[in-house]
Amino acid sequence: MFKQPVFWAAASAIIALLGFVFTHLVGRHWMRYWRLQRLLDRERSFYTTYTTMPRPPSAALIDIAGSQTQQYVSSVTQSLEGFDALPTETVRQSKAELRRLLSNLRATHQTLVSALEPFSITDAKEYFERFDSIAAKFATLYHGGQIPHEARTHCEEVDSVISELAKTIKADAPGWNKIASLRRSVVVYDFDVIIPLMTEVLGKAQVEISIIGQAIRSRDFRKAVYIKERFWFEVRGLYPDLNSALTKMSSLAARL
C-alpha cells in the first residue's frame, strides 16, 4: 500500500493542505497583532510627542483642588524617608506597628497602581490576551461605585497607629517627625483628595474597561486600542509617582 503512487500523492496533498491551513490561520493571527502593535505604537507616540496638546477635562482628576493630589502623594513619599532614618532598636521594638502603618498607607497607592497598570502596557498581544483577567481583577477593586474598605488608606487608622507609635518612639528620634507628619497630611487629604481621586479614577477606568470589553467582543480591536491610549494620556502623569511611592513602601515592608 505504502508503495502505491496514489497513496503518496494523496498523503502529500493532505500534508500540503494542513500546512496551508496552519500557515493561513497562524499568519492571520500574527498579522492582526502586528497591525494592532503598529497602531498602539503610533497612538502612544502621538500622545508622547505632542506634549502641549490640551488634556481632556477628565484629566483634571489628577489635579483635584489645585495641586492637592500631587501634594498628597509627595507628602506620603517624603514621610517614607522617616522609616529609613529610624534607629535600628526603635524599628525592632515598633516593627509590628510600623508594618501596620505601611500596610494602611499602601492601600490607596496599590489600588490605583493596579487599576492603571494595564493601560500602561505597550505590547498589544499581551494587553489583549490579558484583558479578561484585567477586567476580573478590576472588579475586585471597584464594583457598583463602591471602593472596598481595605482598598484605600483611612485617616483614622493612620492616626491611631501613629498615636500608638508615639508611645514608644521618642519625639527627637531621627525620622520620627516625617512619620508623625502623616497624621496631619493624611487626615487633611482623606476626604478632600483620597476619596474624590479614587472615585474619579476608578469610576473612569471602569467605564473605559467596559467600553474596551464591548469593542473586543465586537472584534473592533482598533477601537479598543484608541480608547486604551486616550485614557492612558489622561492618567499617565499620576501613575509614575504612585508607582514609585508604592515600590518604596513595598521595599520598606519587606525589610520590616
Per-residue pLDDT of the chain (256 residues), as tens digits, is 545 555 555 555 555 454 444 444 444 555 678 888 898 899 888 887 765 556 665 555 555 545 677 788 888 888 888 998 999 888 898 999 999 999 999 999 999 999 999 999 999 999 999 999 999 999 988 887 888 889 999 999 999 999 999 998 888 999 999 999 888 888 888 887 888 888 888 999 999 999 999 999 999 999 999 999 999 988 888 888 889 999 999 998 888 8
Could you tell me if residue 209 is inside a domain?
A: yes
The C-alpha cell at 246 is 508604592
Distance in angstroms (rounded) separating the CA atoms of residues 197 and 201? 6
Could you tell me if residue 6 is inside a domain?
A: no
Could you tell me if residue 196 is inside a domain?
A: yes
Q: 37 exposed, middle or buried (CB, 10 Å; 0-12, 13-18, 19+)?
A: middle
Q: Say what the pTM is.
A: 0.80
Could you tell me if residue 147 is inside a domain?
A: yes
Could you tell me if residue 27 is inside a domain?
A: no
Which has the closest alpha carbon to 164: 81, 84, 103, 98? 98
Could you tell me if residue 145 is inside a domain?
A: yes
Distance in angstroms (rounded) separating the CA atoms of residues 113 and 97? 24
Which has the closest alpha carbon to 182: 54, 62, 74, 22? 74
Could you tell me if residue 31 is inside a domain?
A: no
Identity of the residue numbered 51: T
Structural domain including 134 reads: 54-255
Q: In the chain, how many domains are there?
A: 1
Quick one: angle between helices 155-166 and 95-120, nearest 10? 150
Which has the closest alpha carbon to 76: 194, 203, 196? 194
Could you tell me if residue 168 is inside a domain?
A: yes
